[in-house]
Amino acid sequence: MQHVANLADRRPQPEETAIEVAGLSHVYDGPDGGVPALQDITMSVGSGRFIVVVGPSGCGKTSLLMMLAGLRAQSRGTITCYGRPIPDPDPKRVGVIFQEASLFPWLTAVENVEFPLSLRGDPKDERRRRSEAMLELVGLQGFGARYPHELSGGMKQRVSIARGLIQDPPVLLMDEPFAALDEQTRMTMGHELLRIWNATRKTVVFITHSLTEAVYLADEVLVMSARPGRIIDRIPITLPRPRTYEMMATDVFGKLRDRIWQQIRQVP
């Protein structure tokens, strides 16, 4: 677990800015002159913060995440990660975890996790050591030899998270990673994600449709409007950490969730 210990030792300073977005807009090409997806998004994400983005379907949440990852170019505006632009994917700075685990079925769990390191030619012993450490971090010690079809949905997502962490990016982007899971597994995975985040202190931008999940996970919730997506509210979540399931039954938790819902339901 030496690598995991090193991650914790390199926790970012709270005054650092991890992500800076200014005047971001995007229009998709279309037969009628284009479809506006995002409009004038401006946001700043402090290093080590856990930010959750919510909004109605089709508001551009995933488009925003793809641009933050360098996977899609914006029409206008700027995006920087620790002061440098992200014109292309840069897994050393930004890791991405999608809704589907997208594991290679012919590779074992440990081989799936170490795959990014094999692409860049890291020595086999080193990448195996690191991938086993990542599996231990996500609670899958002893499951490295299992193939994806031998794992549950939650286990597959843990492998996906481990693969996103293996290159030690300071920023982790997550696009509804638990949406396909049943409610019990989803709650468990949320709790596990907070444990991993506390150990690594990555900067996380997390997209979800679940308002309960948003409040439970976040330092701050960003609420987006209907298309073209704009940020219409920033809601600080002041619940103490570590978060517990019991907090979900408190008045404070309910009021925060209601505030988010009132913003979304008023979206035209």
Q: Please, which pLDDT band fits residue 268 given cuts at 50, 70 and 90?
A: low
Among residues 84, 23, 65, the alpha carbon closest in space to that of 172 is found at 65
**158-215 pLDDT, tens digit each:** 999 999 999 999 999 999 999 989 999 999 999 999 999 999 999 999 999 999 999 9
Q: Please, which pLDDT band fits residue 120 given cuts at 50, 70 and 90?
A: confident
Q: Which domains does the chain have, with CATH numbers?
A: 12-93+176-265 (3.40.50.300), 101-168 (no CATH)
CA distances from 189 to 115, 156, 200 (A): 23, 11, 16
Count of CA atoms in the C-beta half-sphere (13 A) of 17 = 10
Q: Please, which pLDDT band fits residue 10 given cuts at 50, 70 and 90?
A: very low
Q: How far apart are the first and last CA of the chain?
A: 50
Residue 160: partners with Cβ closer than 8 Å, 6 or more residues away: 97, 98, 101, 102, 103, 177
